[in-house]
């Protein structure tokens, strides 16, 4: 089975390093789910397509109160933001 490549944008990298270490560790583990299949929601990986986004579609992966926002192109998962749920998606 092929694994997807994970690419992290500079803004997502900054978001990541501003988080507590415990949340960083949970997010690192979540990247493993994205490497396996960035589309399939399953136990431990609540993944949904963000409504209103246009191609390439944005997806979100829930990690507690945080959301990993990403898009998929070919065999690459491009993480664009990591944010608190309450921040919303108005930036799209």
Contacts of 25 (CB under 8 A, 6+ apart): none
Assigned token pair, 49: 């397509």
CA nearest 15: which of 68, 77, 63?
A: 68
pLDDT in tens, the chain (92 residues): 678 999 999 999 999 999 999 999 999 999 988 998 898 887 777 899 888 777 789 999 999 999 999 999 999 999 999 998 877 655 55
Give domain limits for the chain.
5-85
Nearest-10 Cα torsion for 34, 35, 40, 42: -70
- What phi-psi label fits residue 70: left (phi over 0), alpha (psi between -120 and 50 degrees) or beta? beta
User: pTM of the prediction?
Assistant: 0.86
Assigned token pair, 54: 């246009």
Would you tell me which CATH number, out of the four given (3.30.2310.20, 3.10.290.10, 3.60.10.10, 3.30.70.270), belongs to the domain 5-85? 3.30.2310.20
User: Which phi and psi (to 5°) does residue 60 adopt?
Assistant: -130, 145
């Amino acid at each position: 089975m092929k694994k997807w490549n994970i690419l992290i944008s500079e803004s997502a990298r900054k978001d990541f390093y501003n988080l507590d270490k415990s949340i960083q560790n949970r997010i690192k583990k979540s990247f493993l789910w994205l490497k396996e299949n960035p589309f399939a929601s399953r136990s431990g990986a609540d993944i949904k397509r963000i409504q209103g986004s246009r191609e390439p579609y944005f997806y979100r992966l829930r990690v507690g109160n945080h959301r990993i926002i990403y898009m998929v192109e070919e065999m690459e998962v491009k993480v664009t933001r990591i944010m608190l749920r309450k921040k919303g998606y108005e930036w799209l």
